[in-house]
């Protein structure tokens, strides 16, 4: 599997594991546990979660899943609610996430989306958490270009490592302005929902003749091509959610697919990136 190099020089897998809605159903719990461990065993050691996901249930699931593994070989990401991202609550929030995960540090801690607490305060708190050894690096999520510009205007804002945003073949708005802005500053993009969510857009993608043609050429399915598309750039990490080992295996196989220039051109023609600024997608 290819790696992505963060701007502090840390290498992380380009394909990780998302966990939104995981850990919330006792009926699915065993299968989700197996899925996470299968992914870890096959190099998908970056695992993303948030205090929001099941109000901690996802973190607890991950905490159990990682018990047999060497912590230093994992890359754990969690996110703090915007209203908890100030000096009053962030230290307790981080400690609660650590406790649920059964670890004493996070590899990456993200502000889940922009909120009302001043970014200068949040950044100062993130830097303090780093100094305490509770987190090793920090970043943001769902930040558009103007949010990133505001972040960079405050002291320490340039220490942001990652911006996690919605990104897939049918939602390419970040390519117009946000992604180039981040690339210039060495900020890695982490793509959530890389397989698109349910609904009309997902059906359109799954039924696309172009995607079917490319999938057939690679002897795989359309979802694997969708996932491979998000990883054609070397500074983008993709974090699909998979609740079963079968789906994790399919995702892992997608990380080995290399799309040709001709195939990328076909995808650009069928699902073009916007030629103007569009609103950042969050669902």
Q: CB–CB of 47/74 below 8 Å?
A: yes
Spatial separation of the C-alpha atoms in residues 281 and 20, rounded to whole Å: 17
Q: How far is CA 225 from CA 37, 58, 63, in A?
A: 24, 27, 31
Instruction: Kindly name the residue from 53, 109, 167, 192 that is annotated as catalytic.
Output: 53
Q: What are the tokens at 34?
A: 């197996």
Residue written as tokens 């205090």?
51
Beta bridge partners of 15: 238
> Which residue has 């795989």 as its token pair?
220
Bridge partners of 192, per DSSP, are 166
Three-state DSSP at 275 gives coil
53 tagged catalytic: yes
Residue 131 exposure: Cα atoms within 13 Å on the Cβ side? 7
Question: How many CA atoms are closer than 13 Å to the CA of 51, on its beta-carbon side?
Answer: 24
Strand-pairing partners, residue 109, are 78, 138
Q: Which residues contact 70 (CB under 8 A, 6 or more apart)?
A: none
**So which residues are the catalytic ones?**
53
């Amino acid at each position: 599997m290819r790696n992505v190099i963060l701007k502090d020089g840390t290498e992380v897998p380009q394909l990780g594991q998302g966990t939104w809605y995981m850990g919330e159903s006792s009926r699915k719990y065993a299968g989700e546990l197996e899925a996470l461990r299968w992914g870890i065993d096959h190099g998908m050691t970056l695992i993303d979660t948030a205090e929001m996901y099941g109000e901690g249930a996802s973190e607890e699931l991950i905490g159990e899943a990682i018990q047999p593994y060497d912590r230093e070989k994992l890359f754990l990401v969690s996110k703090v609610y915007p209203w908890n991202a100030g000096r009053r609550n962030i230290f307790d929030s981080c400690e609660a996430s650590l406790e649920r995960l059964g670890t004493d540090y996070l590899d990456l801690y993200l502000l889940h989306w922009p909120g009302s607490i001043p970014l200068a305060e949040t950044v100062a708190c993130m830097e303090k958490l780093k100094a305490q050894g509770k987190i090793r690096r920090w970043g943001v999520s769902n930040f558009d270009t103007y949010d990133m510009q505001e972040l960079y205007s405050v002291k320490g804002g340039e220490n942001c490592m990652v911006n996690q945003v919605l990104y897939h073949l049918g939602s390419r708005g970040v390519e117009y302005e946000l992604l180039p802005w981040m690339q210039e500053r060495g900020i890695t993009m982490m793509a959530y929902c890389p397989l698109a969510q349910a609904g009309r857009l997902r059906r359109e993608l799954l039924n696309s003749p172009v995607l079917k043609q490319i999938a057939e050429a690679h002897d795989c399915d359309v979802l694997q091509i969708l996932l491979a598309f998000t990883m054609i750039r070397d500074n983008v990490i993709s974090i699909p959610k998979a609740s079963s080992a079968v789906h994790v295996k399919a995702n892992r196989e997608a990380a080995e697919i290399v799309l040709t220039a001709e195939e990328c051109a076909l995808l650009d023609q069928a699902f073009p990136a916007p030629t103007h600024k569009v609103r950042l997608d969050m669902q």
